[in-house]
Amino acid sequence: MKRLTLGITITVAACAAIVLAQNKTGVSFKSKSGDFEISNITEQVFELDAKTNAIDFEFDGKPLTGRSDSQKLSFTAAKAKGQIRNGSNGTMYLLNTTLSGNVVIRQNPGTSEEVALESTSLTLKETPNRASANLTFSSAITLTAKEPNTKLTASSGIVTLSGPANGNRQLDQVTLRGSVNVTANSNGVTKLTTTGLLLNQRPTTSVFQFNNSFTVTNSANDENGRPRTVKFTGTSGSITTPNITQKSNSRPITSASIKGRVNIDFDGRDKEGNAIDLHAEGDRLTMDAKGEILLIGNVKITGGGLDYQSDGESQTIYILVDNNMKPLKYGARGNPAKVSIKPDGGKN
């Protein structure tokens, strides 16, 4: 295929679904139905493969702007290369496309479900059944959800957006590599730092899975408007939070299962206004939907004038927190001679 530049007449007898238009800023490549468009093209080459009903293409722009209505996305990029699939009734969609140069993809643009993905290069692949699309980032990625405001950054990764053609697509699974940072502005501000992360989105929750050391900090105001902070550190495990792309009044951390040497720090005020400065640690941790945190194995808890430590794999301390992650009560359970760890984390 020969690269075509502006000013050359283009004949596309075999591509009846394509509409080409030239204006002052460049060429626009459109589907006949109007559901697909790439604009501001300064250099171009494309060719239809009648056997696959796909169009191989390579476009340059300053920058390119594009939209695919059936995929509910828009984008800007300096270059786009790959395949466009012809659909029925003159429709089109991106089949397998690499975008490069200051790339921004907006999923569900202009809605409260908008998700923006930014990188210097990414590849988008529509699945054959059109039930989802996979975006692979070979360079640094920034992912931003609009409402509630959530931001994820990583060195590289893969993002799956799920949902049928012509419907809004949602974050499904996110694999992040390298240095990972997450900030979610819901139920206060939750910040997460780690190296490598798997995120699974469910209808009402987000499950973060860690294979490396991580820190999670949630900061907010309590019911009296006073600041409070809770901080978790561990070496591996999982934490469940309310769905990061939906508003929620749930506890900012709804459940957890953490290994390591696990540490928790609470900083805030009790109902009388007295300082809460509580530190607890153990070999592993579980937290259930009721807000009960169990630290198990060689445990330690300090705060409120207490300095307690108990060695042994079966030793357990518990902390019950409210919906604002404020400790309501805490204490010790277990005896190495009498208590065995149960599959549910040693809960009675």
Per-residue pLDDT of the chain (348 residues), as tens digits, is 444 444 333 334 344 456 655 555 679 999 999 999 999 999 999 999 888 889 999 999 999 999 999 999 999 999 999 999 999 899 999 999 999 999 999 999 999 899 999 999 999 999 999 999 999 999 999 999 987 789 999 999 999 999 999 999 999 999 999 999 999 988 789 999 999 999 998 888 999 999 999 999 999 988 788 899 999 999 999 999 988 877 777 899 999 999 999 999 999 887 777 888 899 999 999 999 999 999 999 999 998 778 999 998 889 999 999 988 989 999 997 665 433 333 343 333
Whether residue 128 is contained in a domain is answered as: yes
In a domain, 209, yes or no: yes
Q: What is the Cα–Cα distance from 122 to 101, expressed in whole angstroms?
A: 9
For residue 7, tell me if it sits in a domain: no
Q: Is residue 245 domain-resident?
A: yes
Structurally, how many domains does the chain consist of? 1
Q: How far is 280 from 169, CA to CA, in rounded Å?
A: 41
The residue with tokens 């594009």 is 66
Amino acid at 144: T
Closest to 55 measured CA to CA, from 19, 109, 100, 103: 19
pTM of structure? 0.84
Q: Does residue 60 contact residue 79 with C-beta atoms inside 8 Å?
A: yes
Residue 343 lies in a domain: no
Q: List all residues 6 or more positions away from 24 whose beta carbon is below 8 Å from its beta carbon.
A: none
Asked whether 200 and 184 are in contact (CB, 8 A), the reply is no
> From CA 347, how far away is CA 341, in angstroms rounded?
8
DSSP state of 336: T
- Expressed as residue numbers, the domain containing 153 is 53-333
DSSP class per residue in 72-136 = TEEEEEEEEEEEEEE-GGG-EEEEEEEEEEEEEEEESTTSTT-EEEEEEEEEEEE-TTSSEEEEE
Residue written as token pair 């518990």: 318
Question: For residue 342, is it within any domain?
Answer: no
CB atoms within 10 A of CB 130: 16
Between the alpha carbon of residue 180 and those of residues 159, 175, 191, 262, the distances in Å are 14, 10, 11, 20
Establish whether the linkage from the previous residue to 63 is cis, with ω within 30° of 0.
yes
Cα–Cα distance between 342 and 42 in angstroms, integer? 66
Residue 15 within any structural domain of the chain: no
Structure tokens at 191: 């910040």
Structure token digits, residue 241: 């939070």
Count how many Cα atoms sit within 13 Å of the Cα of residue 160 in the half-sphere of its side chain. Answer: 16
308 in a structural domain:
yes
